[in-house]
Chain A
Amino acid sequence: MTDRSRTVRETRQEVLAKAATAAERELGDRRYDWVRSKMRRRLLVTLWLVVTMAFGAVTVATGGNPFAVLAMLVPTAGVAYVLRRAVRGMADLPEELIDERMVAVRNRAYWLAYTVLGAVITLGLVAAWIASDATRIEWRPGPAEFQAAMWTMLSLTVGLPSAVIAWSEPEV
């Protein structure tokens, strides 16, 4: 084995070891126990949905003003972060670093999140199509509307798997 391939392998092992330590810390983190009861998790999911919808609405209402976007981005990212920590990062940690039950929980959550996201995108596109053409209202979405759709989709994509786990699991 050459020196270079040995170095690459050692670096990879170091990275994996660091990731495993970080994952262990996240899985055993008790600082977010205050939000881990089922009722509080569901309240958090509701809050995340409200903030996500508000993000889109504010972006449209302000015409995509960067300050307004930033003002909404911070709380949305904050709630998504707490949501992720509330479910111990189960939706995001690499498969090698979580146990078999968590892998099963995550697979179920991703399937449901994929289905929900697909339905939201399809319904949104149908609504936009109807509003812009079929009803002859001739609504023409501009940059602000597209930006709002982008932020909303980004928030849903990032947060939905954790939200599904937070909503449905009896214990996390």
Chain B
Amino acid sequence: MYNRIPVLRTERGLSRHDLAEAVGVHYQTIGYIERGEYSPSLSLALRICDFFDLPVEAVFSLEPFTPLSSQVYDERTRP
């Protein structure tokens, strides 16, 4: 499973410790999720999305994400 957690964390200036504390897991678990080495439970995935105030499909995907910057740029330049 793919995710945008590293981007979202960096964007908000959060460390893995900060996010881990907010969603109630060990900081290494965040690392495992970010690297795609562990797929979180539905409950944890929803807690993460709730923390970022984003829908699940914006944070997690079964397909690789396209870079956020190109998505934003495409939307702005689309006629």
Name the B residues within 8 Å of A104 (CB-CB). Answer: 38
How near does chain A come to B63, taking the closest CB pair, in angstroms? 23
Q: Which size class do B's interface residues fall under?
A: 10 to 19
- Is residue A171 within 8 Å, beta carbon to beta carbon, of the partner chain? yes
Name the B residues within 8 Å of A117 (CB-CB). Answer: none
- Report how far A102 CA is from B40 CA in the complex, Å: 11
Q: Which size class do A's interface residues fall under?
A: 10 to 19
Task: Choose one: B26, B38, B41; the contact of A27 (CB below 8 Å).
Answer: B26
Name the A residues within 8 Å of B44 (CB-CB). Answer: 100
The interface residues of chain B, by DSSP majority, are classed as: loop
Name the A residues within 8 Å of B41 (CB-CB). Answer: 100
- Is residue B61 within 8 Å, beta carbon to beta carbon, of the partner chain? no
B24 adjacent to A101 (CB under 8 Å): no
- Is residue A158 within 8 Å, beta carbon to beta carbon, of the partner chain? no
- Is residue A3 within 8 Å, beta carbon to beta carbon, of the partner chain? no
B29 adjacent to A170 (CB under 8 Å): no
A170 adjacent to B26 (CB under 8 Å): no
Which residues from 40 to 98 on chain A have a C-beta closer than 8 Å to any C-beta of chain B? 98
- Report how far A171 CA is from B33 CA in the complex, Å: 13
Name the A residues within 8 Å of B26 (CB-CB). Answer: 27, 98-99, 101-102
26 contacts between A and B (CB under 8 A): A27-B26, A98-B26, A99-B24, A99-B25, A99-B26, A99-B29, A100-B25, A100-B29, A100-B40, A100-B41, A100-B44, A101-B25, A101-B26, A101-B28, A101-B29, A101-B32, A101-B38, A101-B40, A102-B26, A102-B29, A104-B38, A170-B37, A171-B28, A171-B31, A171-B32, A172-B28
Q: Which 3 A-B pairs have the closest CB atoms?
A: A99-B25, A101-B29, A101-B38
